[in-house]
Amino acid sequence: MPKCRLRTLSIVAMSVFDVFKRVSQAPTNPKPATGPRVFDVADLYAGPVQAGLGGETAGIALDEKLRQAYFWVVNHAIISPHYDIEYNDGPAQRYAIGDGRRPLTLPSAQSYSSFILLPLLTFVTRRKCLFVGGPGRGKTASAILMGVLAGYPVREVRRAMQHGHPQMTIADLLGNPLPADLVGAQSMDDIRIAWRSWLSMRVKIVDEYNRIPTRTQSALLTVMGDNYAEVLNHVFECPESAWYLTANDDQGGGTYQVIEALRDRIDVIVHALAFNPRFLDDLLLRVEENVRPEDLVPQEIIFSEAELDRVGEEIRAVEVPDDVRRRLEFFASQFELFEMAGVQFEYMTKDTARLSGVEWAQVVAADNGRDRLKDLGCQTRNGVSVRNLMTLLIFGKALAYFRGNSAVELEDLRQILPFVLRDKLLPDLDAPFFSLPENAGYRTDRVSWLRRLFDLACDEFDRLDLDRNDAVGKIAAEFARGLDGVSESETRARLTKIERLVGEYAKARKLYGHLFDDLQKLKYLHQRYTNYLHWLRRQ
């Protein structure tokens, strides 16, 4: 009888007091209108009572729909009260907590949970997200929700999910040749392949990917990296997809070491934080109501393929202002330089040191002259790759879009950066920075370290006053206006200007990452002008 009572109650609750299916009707991030004001008279009848007058979401902007999806997930599906992506529009309340006096901030603007937001941004940008964290933290549930948001039935999403295990073969992952064809085939072309259905889905989920054997990981890499699957010379072209992978350990633990190329294909890494028992009543409600959130995703927040295409276009149209881009350039410039690794200017990089096979500690020992505490480059064992920068830009745009903005703010980059670079920019834990007592926490908290690194880079950018005093930027801007009509004498004058600037930089003696990149840029510009000068002379 009690079971029967609960069932009845649950059905009634669905129709009447449907908290699990309710989507925010008010703007989730209200902003003053930027275009001509339109006051919709139909809004008179919109309100807390579901009057069923229709049109509540008709014509809704897709960024608003995305926020509605976020707030539905965060309010009803995944219990994640961790607002670790913090925004402020005024002074925030800050407290120092515990013996370590760690900061607790009460943000003054709408802030977000990375565990919900990052998968959602991955969904709309069709990128690749890795969930890490202990078992039972909602990693798989979150991935399944993303599949449902793409319009797939829950059952289909569950069936399509790939579960990594030590015996997983390439056939398990991609598909089998049909046995009858194998016997009778005269050539490879005669063999038909029964492709796995998940390959054609727009949301792909690989659970516990670090339990997949190395050889099968290589096949997975082809699908992830190049978006096609190959079996016996037959190719299956996959649609553009959002990928979700889960692992209990992001450091390569699990049954098999994850191959580096596969790790490098992952765009963002999200940490599933621990459950807060203060929210046990929410779990109790689910038990009593016998509901699973993924079964109750409201239709209003499901994205069609065309909508996802349009969101993608709108995200790409979000502007990255020059001043924001410059700070990202400056940050990225800090890390690749390794003066002692090379003799020729271009090879003075950490990549040269890594490829040489010489032990890292041995190469570092040769480094001298720089302030290893102040130089941010000394905190890492590598630099930022092109793929990482592209990911940073697209996720920065996606975050700005999600917040309803048409341009990326510096804070967007600051917030998104740790999740993109978490597994990519590797700390040198022997660096002096990490040995300071106040920085001990950064040895284990990669997200906070990366955000701190970005803050330090921005501080240095401000100290050098590069917003107003960017000599290389001015020369580059002059070049970007084109060479058409530039005379020989003007070209020579520009070459002299470059040479003079290089000379000034050379006088400083100490070489830092951003100077290294500025000098490379100057060399590039010098070469372009030199080539142009040669061409002019032949005219």
Partner 1 sequence: MALSAPFARLLAAGRADFNARMAAAKRQVPGFDTDAFAAFLQTAADSVVVAVAAEAPESAGPVASAAYDIGLTLVAHGLIGPTTRHPLVGRVWTELAPRIVQRVVASPTAVLGGLCNAALNLSRMPSVRGDIWLQNMAILADRCADTRELLALGQVLAWRSGAAHLRAGALAAADRLPPALALAALGAEAPSTWDEVKAGLLANPWWSPERASTANAPAGREVGNFAGFGGIFPEPPQVRPAPDGFWVKSADRYSLLIADAWGAVLAPASEDEFAHPSADVAGAASLEGARIVFGYGAVDIDLPAEGLALVCNAHSAALVSPYTYAIRLYPLK
List interacting residues with partner 1 (CB under 8 A).
5, 8-9, 12-13, 16-17, 19, 30-32, 34, 36-37, 39-53, 285, 288
Tell me the three state secondary structure of residue 245: strand
Q: Which is nearer to partner 1, 260 or 281 (CB)?
A: 281
Q: What is the DSSP string of 280-316?
A: HHHHHHHHHHT--GGGG--GGGPPPHHHHHHHHHHHH
Q: Tell me, what DSSP letter sits at residue 130?
A: E
Least distance between partner 1 and beta carbon 10 (Å) = 8
Gap between the Cα atoms of 140 and 321, Å rounded: 37
Q: Tell me, what DSSP letter sits at residue 239?
A: P
| 151: region left, alpha or beta (phi > 0 left; psi from -120 to 50 alpha) | left
Gap between the Cα atoms of 521 and 529, Å rounded: 12
Least distance between partner 1 and beta carbon 280 (Å) = 14
Gap between the Cα atoms of 345 and 17, Å rounded: 68
Least distance between partner 1 and beta carbon 385 (Å) = 38
* Closest residue by Cα to residue 371 from 509, 516, 518, 469: 509
Q: Which is nearer to partner 1, 47 or 153 (CB)?
A: 47
- Nearby residues of 443 by Cβ (< 8 Å), 6 or more positions away: 427, 429, 434, 449
Least distance between partner 1 and beta carbon 27 (Å) = 11
Q: Which is nearer to partner 1, 31 or 537 (CB)?
A: 31
Least distance between partner 1 and beta carbon 216 (Å) = 46
Least distance between partner 1 and beta carbon 397 (Å) = 21
Q: Which is nearer to partner 1, 22 or 354 (CB)?
A: 22
Q: Which is nearer to partner 1, 5 or 155 (CB)?
A: 5
Q: Which is nearer to partner 1, 16 or 386 (CB)?
A: 16
Least distance between partner 1 and beta carbon 317 (Å) = 20
Q: Which is nearer to partner 1, 42 or 182 (CB)?
A: 42
Least distance between partner 1 and beta carbon 293 (Å) = 14
Least distance between partner 1 and beta carbon 106 (Å) = 21
Q: Tell me, what DSSP letter sits at residue 76?
A: I
Least distance between partner 1 and beta carbon 109 (Å) = 15
Which two tokens mark 510? 């100490």
63-to-16, 30, 43, 304, 441 alpha-carbon distances in Å: 29, 12, 20, 14, 36
Gap between the Cα atoms of 294 and 143, Å rounded: 10
- Cβ atoms of residues 7 and 283 within 8 Å: no
Which two tokens mark 291? 């509901």
- Beta-bridge partner residues of 193: 177
Taking each helix axis as running N to C, give the angle between helix 513-538 and helix 488-507, from 0 to 180 degrees, rounded to the nearest 10: 160
For the chain, what is the radius of gyration of the CA atoms? 27
Least distance between partner 1 and beta carbon 275 (Å) = 20
Q: Which is nearer to partner 1, 109 or 188 (CB)?
A: 109
Q: Which is nearer to partner 1, 39 or 99 (CB)?
A: 39
Least distance between partner 1 and beta carbon 70 (Å) = 21
Which two tokens mark 529? 């002008």
Q: Which is nearer to partner 1, 47 or 134 (CB)?
A: 47
Class of residue 370 by CB neighbours under 10 A (exposed 0-12, middle 13-18, buried 19+): middle
Q: Which is nearer to partner 1, 38 or 183 (CB)?
A: 38
Q: Which is nearer to partner 1, 18 or 459 (CB)?
A: 18
Residue matched to tokens 């203060």:
278
Q: Which is nearer to partner 1, 79 or 328 (CB)?
A: 79
Least distance between partner 1 and beta carbon 108 (Å) = 14
Give the burial string for 412-435 (b: 16+ CB within 10 Å, else e).
bbbbbbbbbbbbbbebbeebebbe
Least distance between partner 1 and beta carbon 291 (Å) = 11
CA dihedral 528, 531, 532, 537 (to 10 degrees): 160
- The number of angstroms, rounded, from the C-alpha of 42 to the middle of its chain's C-alpha atoms is 39
Q: What is the DSSP string of 400-454?
A: HHHTT-SB--HHHHHHHHHHHHTTTS-B-TTSHHHHSGGGGGGGT-HHHHHHHHH
Q: Which is nearer to partner 1, 34 or 539 (CB)?
A: 34
Q: Tell me, what DSSP letter sits at residue 58?
A: T
